[in-house]
Structure 1
Amino acid sequence: MSDDPLQPLHLGRNSALPPSPEDARLDYVPNPRAGELYMIRFAAPEFTSLCPVTGQPDFAHLVIDYAPGETIVESKSLKLFLGAFRNHCGFHEDVTVGIGRRLFDEMAPRWLRIGGYWYPRGGIPIDVFWQSGAPPEALWLPDQGVASYRGRG
């Protein structure tokens, strides 16, 4: 296999879940609309990781929005990367910002934001938001569509 990030490792192949996020390889492919300003959204409503103190599972609804530059992230590799958090211990803040930062640093989009809407543990939901900077002018930014936690009613 090539180490070239523009030669997808996962697309069209059987791929096992990586043992950790650090071991996961994110693949990027050329942006089919390079030079055009538009936004891509990924939603992961069943994201899981582990509490670094108790080892108990934490659940979140992640929403990743980005305006691509020269490349886009290949969705199968993103699913495997996010799935690798299933056995990863990390605080909500570190996990959410770490995902956004890794995508931004590797893919070099024009702009990226991530919302981590974490379900309550100990009675307190935690929402974590990160973005790479001000969005490009004229980029349409829809609401992320995840309501604040309201419990049962």
Structure 2
Amino acid sequence: MTATDVSGLTQLGGKTELPASPEAAVLEKVPAGHAGSLYLVRFTAPEFTSLCPMTGQPDFAHIVIDYAPRDWLVESKSLKLYLHSFRNHGAFHEDCTLDIGKRLTALLDPVWLRIGAYWYPRGGIPIDVFWQTGMPPEGLWLPDQGVPTYRGRG
């Protein structure tokens, strides 16, 4: 069993205030205990919220983040706080989705990362946004994200 070095973490193990904005949020990483192995890490945020930048009304999404680590793992509490920091942040669906994917990529330098954001309808139209760093590596087990297209009540 590989021990993970958590000595540099500032948020884990104590009370941490919700960041005022995504820019103010501190994303932290820990060394990947199995660097050199090809595997997938999945985070699912089924209750993601942000604000419409035009109306200030809340927007809701089911977000799935998949990545194949290289040398680093994102520390999950810091990711949770980062995602929650969007609650009072006004941005379009596409901007929220790509900002999350690109910030994680810059932090982790993963072998591969994808994000699927399945947004609930705004103005009667659901918007789904997908982004990835490139083609998934050969041999990576890549399960379906498991979120069906929005169907409403029909």
What TM-score do you get using the length of structure 2 for normalisation?
0.95
Q: Following the alignment from structure 2 to structure 1, what is the Cα–Cα distance between the partners of residues 24 and 7?
A: 18
Amino acid paired to 1:107: L
Contact 1:29/1:72, CA 8 A, preserved across alignment: yes
Q: Following the alignment from structure 2 to structure 1, what is the Cα–Cα distance between the partners of residues 144 and 81?
A: 26
Percent identity reads 67
Contact 1:6/1:27, CA 8 A, preserved across alignment: no
C-alpha displacement at 1:8, in angstroms? 1.0
C-alpha displacement at 1:106, in angstroms? 1.2
Does the residue aligned with 1:104 lie in a helix, a strand or coil? helix
Q: Structure 1's 6 and 140: CA in aligned 2 closer, same or farther, altered over 3 A?
A: farther
C-alpha displacement at 1:14, in angstroms? 1.1
Q: Following the alignment from structure 1 to structure 2, what is the Cα–Cα distance between the partners of residues 143 and 107?
A: 23
- The residue number in structure 2 matching 1:51 is 52
Q: How does 1:104-115 map to 2 (within 5 A)?
A: 104-115=105-116
C-alpha displacement at 1:6, in angstroms? 7.0
- The residue number in structure 2 matching 1:20 is 21
Q: Following the alignment from structure 2 to structure 1, what is the Cα–Cα distance between the partners of residues 92 and 9?
A: 30
Q: Following the alignment from structure 2 to structure 1, what is the Cα–Cα distance between the partners of residues 82 and 148?
A: 25
Amino acid paired to 1:21: P
Does the residue aligned with 1:63 lie in a helix, a strand or coil? strand
- The residue number in structure 2 matching 1:68 is 69
Does the residue aligned with 2:127 lie in a helix, a strand or coil? strand
* Residues 107-126 of structure 1 deviation map (CA, whole Å, 9 limit, x = unaligned): 11110000000000110000
Q: Following the alignment from structure 1 to structure 2, what is the Cα–Cα distance between the partners of residues 83 and 66?
A: 20
Contact 1:65/1:113, CA 8 A, preserved across alignment: yes
More strand by share: 1
Does the residue aligned with 1:106 lie in a helix, a strand or coil? helix
Q: Structure 1's 27 and 33: CA in aligned 2 closer, same or farther, altered over 3 A?
A: same
Amino acid paired to 2:145: Q
Structure 1 stretches of 4+ with a deviation exceeding 2 A read: none
Does the residue aligned with 1:17 lie in a helix, a strand or coil? coil
Q: Following the alignment from structure 1 to structure 2, what is the Cα–Cα distance between the partners of residues 21 and 41?
A: 21
Does the residue aligned with 1:124 lie in a helix, a strand or coil? coil
Q: How many residues align?
A: 149
* Residues 28-80 of structure 1 deviation map (CA, whole Å, 9 limit, x = unaligned): 00101111000000000000000000000000000000000101000000000
Does the residue aligned with 2:119 lie in a helix, a strand or coil? strand
Query: Where do 5+ consecutive residues of structure 2 fail to align?
Result: 1-5
Does the residue aligned with 1:49 lie in a helix, a strand or coil? strand
Contact 1:6/1:29, CA 8 A, preserved across alignment: no
